[in-house]
Amino acid sequence: MSENERRNVNLNIDHSEAAFYSDSISIIFNPSKFILDFKQSIPRMDQIQGKEQETIAVKHKTVIIDARFAKSFVETLKKAVENYEKKFGKLDVPKKSKKHEKKEVVTSTESYIG
C-alpha cells in the first residue's frame, strides 16, 4: 500500500460485559505467555442447616497476554500509577497481617489450560 492510499478499517468495541472489580491477582507464566487471574472475594453470611455460616464467594476473570506485551503492560501501569499519584496523592499499600497474609503472585512454568 502506498503512502497516498487510505485503508478503511471497521472497529467494533464490545461493551456487553460489565466492569469487574478485583481485590487480588495471581500471575502464572511460561516462556510464551503470562496468565493474569484477577479475583474478587465477597464475604457473606449464609444459613446452612439452620445455622449462620460465613461463606466467601470468589469470582475471577482470566486474561492471557503475550510475554513481550507483559513488559509493555508493566511500564504502562507504572506510568499510570505515577500520573495518579501526581493528581491524587501518594498511594500507600497497607501491610498485611500474618493472619491474612497469603501469596498473591504464583509463578509457574507449567502449561495453563483455561
Is 40 a member of any domain?
yes
Give tens-digit pLDDT for 11-65: 888 888 888 899 999 999 999 999 999 999 988 888 888 999 998 889 999 999 9
Question: What 3-state DSSP class applies to 31?
Answer: coil
* Residue 51: φ, ψ to 5°: -120, 145
The chain-wide mean pLDDT, for the chain, equals 84
| Structural domain for 47, as ranges | 24-88
Q: What is the pLDDT of residue 103?
A: 45
Residue 102 has pLDDT above 50, yes or no: no
Side-chain-side CA neighbours of 4 within 13 Å: the count stands at: 0
Amino acid 97: pLDDT: 61
Residue 104: per-residue pLDDT? 44
Q: What is the CATH number of the domain that holds 65?
A: 3.30.1040
- In angstroms, the CA 114 to CA 17 distance is 19
8 A C-beta contact, residue 22 and residue 58: no
**What is the predicted pLDDT for the residue at 2?**
64
Question: Is 53 within a domain?
Answer: yes
